[in-house]
Amino acid sequence: MIRTCDLRETKGLSVVVAGLFIVAQLAGAGFVSLPKALGNTGWLGLPMMILFCVMVGLSATRLGFCWNILEERWPDQYSQPARQPYMEIAEKAFGKHGRAFALFCVVASQFGGTTVFIILAAELLNTLLPGLSTCVYIIIVATIITPCTWLGTPKDFWLGPMLAVVSTIAACLAIFVQTLLDAPDQHYVQFVNPTIKTFALGYGAILFAFGILLLYVPVSVAGYAVFGTYVNSNILFEVTQGPAVEAAMALQIINLLGSYVIGFNTVTQAFEDILNIPQNFGVKRIVTRTSIVWLQAIIGLAIPDFSLILNLIGGPVPFWMRVALIEIVIIGAIGGTFSTVSAIVEIVNTPFSASCFADFSGDSL
């Protein structure tokens, strides 16, 4: 029997702030791509979204239960907040190889996800302020966000998740209302049966975007029902432009920047632990985190289409729990493999002319 550990005085996050961080991450930028994900999967994507949300909730409770086990069996080691809790759990379960595998999965997912945030913020800025290209805005966004990444741990940027949550809710409401207003003008909407390739791409987008059902389902269903299979990969670019949509774009940029700082911190803490960089503020932290930001910017310049990267990155108990967790692993592994392969094929087949480097080699930006 695992007993609940006694409350200890720590320097970690409060329950309210921790909740904001969780909601901010779950309700991040993925909702803008979900109507297109439904376009790729058909209406089957709707129960998939609900199923994935249930699976995520179940997995989260098991992770919390696992952490309680660590606190119970190794109280001296885990009585304080840990920088890499997933990796600690994996190491106790599967040894050093398990820790290395968990580290790779977390870093790859968060690195890819935050790269998407840079590209998407640049695309939105290009729409709101069309004087410069998306490629130039990628550089501008990376420049602006770099100093924000120098903060130490999540407790140092508690304002980020608060802004992200509020802006995401407002943006979802604006998009949903504008989509319904656009419905009477859509007379020739097509609903095409998905292929294996499109279904795999949609699967990856749904995996990336899973989160708050009350926010995601209305936007997804309305976007797909009104605009059909060929809805834009970013619903913000599909609805009729106006003050409400422009406000939603501005709010979404705030959400992206706030969510970026949260997700990016996971990547940097992992690299800093590997490189034995001191946890206090210093030159080594600045150099490491700045280098990672600009590596992401280079990737964004090479592939300035957020949907391609989004598809790429979208992975003793009771018997029913065992079955459920095994199903989660199998579904995630098989679906993730198909979506990854499909996304890589899409990236490889994208012409070089679509890259920002082709623009930079020309006469204009």
pLDDT tens for the chain, residues 1 to 365: 444 444 444 555 667 777 777 766 666 566 777 788 788 888 888 887 787 777 777 877 888 888 889 989 988 888 777 778 888 988 988 888 888 888 887 888 788 878 888 888 898 899 898 888 888 999 999 999 999 888 776 666 666 677 777 777 888 888 888 888 888 888 788 887 777 767 766 666 666 555 556 667 788 888 888 888 878 877 888 888 888 888 888 888 888 887 788 888 888 888 888 888 887 888 888 999 999 999 999 988 887 766 666 655 554 444 434 444 555 566 556 655 655 666 676 666 666 556 676 666 555 44
How would you label 282-308 residue by residue, b for 16+ Cβ within 10 Å and e otherwise?
eeebeebbeebbeebbebbbebbbbbb
Distance, CA of 348 to CA of 344 (rounded, Å) = 6
Structure tokens at 71: 């606190």
Total domains in the fold of the chain: 1
Q: Can you say how many angstroms the Cα of residue 37 is from the centroid of all Cα atoms in its chain?
A: 15
Residue 86 CA neighbour count, 13 Å, CB half: 14
Residue 254 within any structural domain of the chain:
yes
Residue 340 is predicted with a pLDDT of 62
Residue 157 is predicted with a pLDDT of 65
Structure tokens at 260: 């970026």
Domain residues for 184? 32-70+87-347
Residue 291 is predicted with a pLDDT of 93
Is residue 277 within 8 A of residue 285, CB to CB? The reply is yes
Structure tokens at 350: 């994208």
Is 18 buried (19+), middle (13-18) or exposed (0-12) by CB count in 10 A? Answer: middle
Residue 232 is predicted with a pLDDT of 80
User: Is pTM beyond 0.95 here?
Assistant: no
Contacts 24+ apart (CB under 8 A), 100-108: 103/270, 105/315, 106/266, 106/270, 107/266, 107/267, 107/270, 107/271, 108/313
Instruction: Please report, as a single letter, which amino acid is at residue 189.
Output: V
Residue 14 within any structural domain of the chain:
no
Q: Find the DSSP H helices in the chain.
A: 15-26, 34-41, 45-73, 75-78, 85-128, 134-145, 159-182, 196-209, 213-227, 243-274, 283-302, 306-313, 319-349, 356-360
Residue 27 within any structural domain of the chain:
no
Structure tokens at 132: 């410069």
CB atoms near residue 237 (< 10 Å)? 15
Cβ neighbours for 64, distance < 8 A, ≥ 6 positions apart: none
CB atoms near residue 154 (< 10 Å)? 21
Residue 361 within any structural domain of the chain:
no
CB atoms near residue 192 (< 10 Å)? 12
Structure tokens at 6: 């006694």
Residue 15 within any structural domain of the chain:
no
Q: Is the alpha carbon torsion for 286, 292, 293, 298 positive or negative?
A: positive
Is residue 253 within 8 A of residue 124, CB to CB? The reply is yes
Closest C-alpha to 53, from 26, 28, 35: 26
